[in-house]
Amino acid sequence: MGDTASKWSGAIEVPVSQIEANPWNPNAMSEEMFHKLLSEIKDTGFDEPLIVVPHPEKPDMYRLINGEHRWKAVQVLEWTTVPVVVKHGLAEGDQKTMTVRRNLLHGDLDRVKFTDLVNDVINNHGMQRIDVPDRMGFLNEKDFTSNLVTEKIKQAKEMSDQAKQATQMVDNTSYLLNEIFTKFGDTVPNGYLFFMHKSKMHLMVQMDKDMEETMGLLVAHVKASGQNINDVLAKALVGTLTAVAAAGPDAGPEDVKY
């Protein structure tokens, strides 16, 4: 736990676990800046409470309007509660414009998210385009439009983000496979890999052409019937497992009568 709500008029203490980030926040912060923020909060605490509203769908929960990066930082610091000011009666459109106004004071705007948010408040919350810059806290039209992106720039940004996600996915998959083969790779010469991941056992089989065709038919049957693959395979293997058990633990392949 860090700062207490008594430092600010109207603030209350709320469990960190009862706060949820809003889905529209266009504020961006680099990893370097986040670490600086983390260090500052650790040394000096908050300079102001978070701003939240009662969550529209989850009782006893709050939705963040301002302070997402500080909220993430206190989770790293393992604070149990955090000071907040609760705003009541704010329409969602007003919540979104308030988020932008506060973001202009703290950090940089992600231009793609900001453009999406501007389109949202105009198309879905009845705001007039001419009123949006002032309601979002911009001093003039030039500053406002400089943060908007054209469709071409937006598409390029989305492609860049997708490429980063794909790279991260490949890195994560490579790490996972390396861990699996290091711990469970002794069965690979036998054509299969039986391994534990996320507390569940998994079986990966290296199939030849005949097995691939057979499994293709089985998968098609499972999809069409809506059955669970575990149930289907268990039934299919009953005869084989019975024969193996009857032959005994020391029996060779030639001793098993299928």
Write a three-state SS string for 131-153: HHHHHCCCCCHHHHHCCCCCHHH
pLDDT at 237: 75
pLDDT at 64: 94
Question: Looking at the domain 5-149, which fold is it?
Answer: 3.90.1530
pLDDT at 29: 78
Listed by start position, the domains of the chain span 5-149, 150-201, 207-258
Looking only at the bridges linking them, the beta strands covering 19-20 and 62-66 are parallel
CA distances, 11 to each of 3, 16, 18 (Å): 11, 14, 15
pLDDT tens-digit readout, 146-169: 778 775 445 545 665 666 666 666
Please state the pTM of the whole predicted model.
Answer: 0.46
Alpha-carbon gap, residue 74 to 32, rounded angstroms? 16
Instruction: Return the SS3 of 26.
Output: coil
pLDDT at 71: 92
Q: What one-letter code names the amino acid at 55?
A: H
Question: Which ranges of the chain have pLDDT less than 50?
Answer: 152-153, 156
Alpha-carbon gap, residue 117 to 24, rounded angstroms? 7
Alpha-carbon gap, residue 2 to 121, rounded angstroms? 35
